């Protein structure tokens, strides 16, 4: 197959994958069974790990010898919703306009998955000394949840790989570290009453306001302590506060207020310490005031998601390999979460490196440049060349 034919194959496969509406709220099983059939026809072995409801699955595949030290190409199969977005064309039909390919998930991140799968036959035909694995997950966009089952399965049952390339859109530049994130939902239960007699009730919105003030104070302190040269933008752990609901009318003391909050943490930030600080302030300073009005009042907080940061590891196997293959000699940092930190925590070094720009991710008229698909395809050819010997 010529290089041009290989590029075309990557783009054809992207068209196939975009056509599956794998918004995180839906099942991804149709896409997964399409990939299973595709790999079966090439004689490539694979296995699935499911969610509890068994309506979503991760796919793991191995090409080459069944030994440790392989390279994982990792991508998520789910995409963010198109609801409320103004698209110029059907988001689930790949459309080429000029040198851009439009469709939901083109850059984040079916472009990378399509490139990987479109190289499967090439990988299979070679005598690989180093195995190449595919790790395609579900539910990344809702907190990097799905990949945990896949990693657990690999660590417990399979030869451990040496490195993972997480193909999030980085414009084919090496990203060696990302912030993590922990998010929570806090529910304040107060006591309702007529707003003219505030002392007879317990105002849930005011209590929420005290908690939020505490969150802002923590964020301000972390900002003060930041090392401006740590490579992250911004260079400190940041507060997320994106959703709040409370009250029923302006003249009723609100009995309920719920808000979603969290912190995007630098690698090495002590996220447990932040959590303890917030929860103990709630328990010791804010909740007693509510409870003094009624024992039924109170505050509960539950963890919504917990994504570990990727700690930069410039000497690690993943970054060394991608530097070697890409001829790039520097790596950057990003502030969004990825699955790479989960792999790192399981003992598999990772980097983020993939086609397309994060600036187009999650937006209406999401696209990927044809050039980026070609660059990713060429990179995977170099990976295959290297994997025949495994020598850097
Ligand atoms: Zn993504």
The pLDDT value given to residue 319: 97
* 88 is a domain residue: yes
For residues 153 and 214, membership in a common domain is answered with: no
The pLDDT value given to residue 391: 87
What's the 13 CA to ligand 1 centre distance in angstroms?
18
Count of structural domains within the chain: 2
Residue 169 has pLDDT above 90, yes or no: yes
**Considering the chain, what percentage of its residues have pLDDT values greater than 90?**
98
For residues 156 and 303, membership in a common domain is answered with: no
For residues 284 and 359, membership in a common domain is answered with: no
CATH of residue 287? 3.30.70.360
Marked catalytic residue, from 140, 141, 168, 313: 140
The pLDDT value given to residue 218: 98
For residues 270 and 339, membership in a common domain is answered with: no
**78 included as an active-site residue:** yes
Report the pLDDT averaged over residues 291-300.
Answer: 97
Q: Tell me the pLDDT tens digit for each residue of 192-218.
A: 999 999 999 999 999 999 999 999 999
What's the 131 CA to ligand 1 centre distance in angstroms?
25
What's the 169 CA to ligand 1 centre distance in angstroms?
7
* 39 is a domain residue: yes
Report the pLDDT averaged over residues 137-162.
Answer: 96
Marked catalytic residue, from 78, 319, 339, 365: 78
For residues 263 and 244, membership in a common domain is answered with: yes
* 90 is a domain residue: yes
Report the pLDDT averaged over residues 311-324.
Answer: 97
For residues 119 and 217, membership in a common domain is answered with: no
Query: For residues 267 and 308, what is the distance between their CA atoms, to the nearest angstrom?
Result: 8
CATH of residue 151? 3.40.630.10
Domain boundary among 307, 324, 345: 307
Q: Tell me the pLDDT tens digit for each residue of 253-270.
A: 999 999 999 999 999 999
For residues 144 and 194, membership in a common domain is answered with: no
The pLDDT value given to residue 183: 96
Residue 306 has pLDDT above 90, yes or no: yes
What's the 109 CA to ligand 1 centre distance in angstroms?
5
Report the pLDDT averaged over residues 18-42.
Answer: 97
* 71 is a domain residue: yes
Residue 157 has pLDDT above 90, yes or no: yes
* 300 is a domain residue: yes
Domain boundary among 272, 292, 307: 307
What's the 338 CA to ligand 1 centre distance in angstroms?
7
For residues 152 and 39, membership in a common domain is answered with: yes
Query: For residues 131 and 120, what is the distance between their CA atoms, to the nearest angstrom?
Result: 12
For residues 377 and 257, membership in a common domain is answered with: no
Domain boundary among 288, 307, 326: 307
Give alpha helix (H) positions in the chain: 3-18, 29-41, 111-118, 120-125, 147-157, 204-225, 271-281, 287-291, 317-326, 340-345, 370-387
Q: Tell me the pLDDT tens digit for each residue of 240-251.
A: 999 999 999 999
3-state secondary structure of 42: coil
What's the 107 CA to ligand 1 centre distance in angstroms?
8
**140 included as an active-site residue:** yes
Residue 94 has pLDDT above 90, yes or no: yes
Query: For residues 268 and 266, what is the distance between their CA atoms, to the nearest angstrom?
Result: 6
What's the 249 CA to ligand 1 centre distance in angstroms?
40
Query: For residues 110 and 76, what is the distance between their CA atoms, to the nearest angstrom?
Result: 8
The pLDDT value given to residue 229: 93
* 371 is a domain residue: yes
* 347 is a domain residue: yes
For residues 174 and 233, membership in a common domain is answered with: no
For residues 140 and 95, membership in a common domain is answered with: yes
What's the pTM?
A: 0.91
What's the 200 CA to ligand 1 centre distance in angstroms?
49
Report the pLDDT averaged over residues 231-238.
Answer: 95
Range of the domain at 277: 180-307
Q: Which of 213, 184, 181, 143 is nearest to 301 (CA)?
A: 184
Residue 392 has pLDDT above 90, yes or no: no
Tokens of 179: 């912030």
* 392 is a domain residue: no
For residues 297 and 187, membership in a common domain is answered with: yes
What's the 167 CA to ligand 1 centre distance in angstroms?
8
Report the pLDDT averaged over residues 179-194.
Answer: 96
Roughly what angle, to the nearest 10 degrees, separates helices 204-225 and 271-281? Answer: 150
What's the 76 CA to ligand 1 centre distance in angstroms?
7
Query: For residues 115 and 374, what is the distance between their CA atoms, to the nearest angstrom?
Result: 9
């Amino acid at each position: 197959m010529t290089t041009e034919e290989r590029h075309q194959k990557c783009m054809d496969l992207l068209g196939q994958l975009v056509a599956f509406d794998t918004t995180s709220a839906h099942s991804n099983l149709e896409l997964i069974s399409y990939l299973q059939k595709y790999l079966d026809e090439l004689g490539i072995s694979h296995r699935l790990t499911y969610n509890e409801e068994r309506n979503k699955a991760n796919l793991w595949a191995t090409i080459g010898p069944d030994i440790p030290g392989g390279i994982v190409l990792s991508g998520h199969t789910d995409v963010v919703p198109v609801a409320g977005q103004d698209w110029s064309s059907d988001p689930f039909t790949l459309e080429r306009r000029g040198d851009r390919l439009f469709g939901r998930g083109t850059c984040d991140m079916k472009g990378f998955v399509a490139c990987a799968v479109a190289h499967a036959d090439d990988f299979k035909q070679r005598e690989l000394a180093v195995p190449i694995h595919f790790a395609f997950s579900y539910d990344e966009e809702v907190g990097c949840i799905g990949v945990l089952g896949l990693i657990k399965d690999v660590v417990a049952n399979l030869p451990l790989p040496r490195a993972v390339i997480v193909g999030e859109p980085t414009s084919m530049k090496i990203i060696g570290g990302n912030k993590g994130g922990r998010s929570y939902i806090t529910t304040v239960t107060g006591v309702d009453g007529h707003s003219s007699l505030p002392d007879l009730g317990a105002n849930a919105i005011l209590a929420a306001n005290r908690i939020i003030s505490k969150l802002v104070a923590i964020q301000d302190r972390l900002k003060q302590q930041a090392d401006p040269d740590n490579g992250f933008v911004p260079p400190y752990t940041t507060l997320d506060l994106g959703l709040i609901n409370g009250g029923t009318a302006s003249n009723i003391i609100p009995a309920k207020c719920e808000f979603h909050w969290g912190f995007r943490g630098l690698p090495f930030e002590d996220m447990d310490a932040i959590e303890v600080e917030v929860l103990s302030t709630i328990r010791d300073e804010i909740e007693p005031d509510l409870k003094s009005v009624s024992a039924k009042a109170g505050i509960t907080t539950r963890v919504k998601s917990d994504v570990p940061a990727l700690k930069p590891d410039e000497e690690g196997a993943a970054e060394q390999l991608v530097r070697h293959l890409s001829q790039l000699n520097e790596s950057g940092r990003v502030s969004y979460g990825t699955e790479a930190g989960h792999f790192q925590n399981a003992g598999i070094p990772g980097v983020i490196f993939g086609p397309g720009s994060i600036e187009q991710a999650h937006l209406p008229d999401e696209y990927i440049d044809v050039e980026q698909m070609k660059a990713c395809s060429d990179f995977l050819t170099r990976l295959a060349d290297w994997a025949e010997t495994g020598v850097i």
